[in-house]
Amino acid sequence: MKAYLDLLRDVLENGTDKGDRTGTGTRSVFGRMVRYDLAEGFPLLTTKKLHIRSILHELLWFLNGETNIQYLKDNGVTIWDEWATPDGELGPVYGYQWRFWPDGDGGHIDQIAQLVDGLKNNPNSRRHIFHAWNVAQLPDESKKPWQNAAEGRMALPPCHLLYQFYVVNNKLSAMLYIRSNDLFLGNPYNTASLAFLTHMLAQQCGYEPGEIVISMADLHLYQNHLEQARIQLEREPRPLPKLLIHRKPDSIFDYKFEDFEIVDYDPHPHIPAPIAV
């Protein structure tokens, strides 16, 4: 994961200090790209321990199209708690847009089902895309996240917002565009989540996993994460783990947490850091 450490160093050394919505302040650069070959190992950060349960359960929650955090809470995942209404609602966030994009006629479009069909039956297409930037349902920035959710809008606008897939030589690769990326907390989760999804889609569609590419627009460290970033840069990366998927479910929507096993993950200790709300 040298590419990730290079990003940390880049932001620390070349970033500009800016204000932000949360009032915390960031150190920011604009327009960066990294890529990871999945044949070289599963891209799970080793310079600090990541909470795999949160990453994987969140992805499964997205794929179910859910907008309430109860599933996450039932599985010990708290990463969305700060933005939900008292009833646990988040409005039409990621999974809703992935699975139930409004079609304008009272119905919905399942972007994930369409993606799987296209990857299987028209692999050379350049339209293997799904995204979550539904302008009509973006939040009102003057309101609190839970207020937007209570009014039927997204609690937060999507950060990882556009995914595209590419098939060549029987390998499936993915590219993700992230408009705003919290480098210390968010980026390692985004990377691992994209890798999980690419492995799942490859298995479902009969391909080998290729590489993942992540394009980041506003890439930043929050001002209260700078010291944590420096700690990571003092640590030597360790060998990447491997991912085992123990069964092939009937569809992309039928995976369970127990289907996945990360083997030989030996990270440095967790580094605590506050989340900016």
State the chain's mean pLDDT as an integer. 97
Look at residue 56 in the predicted model and tell me its pLDDT.
98
Taking alpha carbons only, the member of 38, 57, 1 closest to residue 201 is 38
Q: What letter represents residue 107's amino acid?
A: G
Query: DSSP label at 89?
Result: B
Distance between CA atoms of 148 and 100, rounded to whole angstroms? 19
Active site residues: 159
Bridge pairing between strands 208-222 and 129-131: unpaired
Cross-strand bridge partners of residue 163: 130, 176
Residue that has been written with the tokens 């989340």 in this structure: 275
Q: Evaluate if residue 262 carries a pLDDT over 90.
A: yes
Handedness of CA 124, 125, 126, 132 (dihedral sign): negative
- With vertex at residue 39, the alpha carbon angle to CA 33 and CA 41, rounded to the nearest 5 degrees, is 80
- The secondary element (H helix, E strand) that includes residue 94 is helix 94-100
Cβ–Cβ < 8 Å for 100, 118: no
Does residue 33 carry a pLDDT above 90? yes
Q: What sign has the CA pseudo-torsion 130, 134, 140, 144?
A: negative
> What is the percentage of the chain residues whose pLDDT exceeds 90?
97
pLDDT at 277 over 80: no
Taking alpha carbons only, the member of 180, 203, 178, 207 closest to residue 191 is 178
Please report the pLDDT score of residue 237 as a whole number: 97
Q: Among candidates 80, 54, 76, which has minimal Cα distance to 270?
A: 54
Query: Cβ distance 142 to 125 under 8 Å?
Result: no
At 94-147, the pLDDT tens digits run: 999 999 999 999 999 999 999 999 999 999 999 999 999 999 999 999 999 999
CA distances from 182 to 3, 20, 58 (A): 16, 12, 17
Assess whether pLDDT exceeds 80 at residue 151. Answer: yes
Rounded Cα gap, residues 131 and 239, in angstroms: 32
Structure tokens given for 166: 């590419």
The answer, yes or no, to whether residue 252 has pLDDT greater than 80, is: yes
Question: Which residues, 6 or more positions from 21, have their beta carbon under 8 angstroms from its beta carbon?
Answer: 141
Residues 6+ apart with CB under 8 A from 44: 50, 52, 188, 192, 195, 240, 241, 262, 265, 267
Backbone φ and ψ for 245, nearest 5 degrees, come out as -110, 120
Mean pLDDT across 56-62:
98
Contacts 24+ apart (CB under 8 A), 137-146: 137/91, 137/92, 137/97, 139/91, 141/21, 145/82, 145/83, 145/84, 145/90, 145/277, 146/83, 146/84, 146/85, 146/86
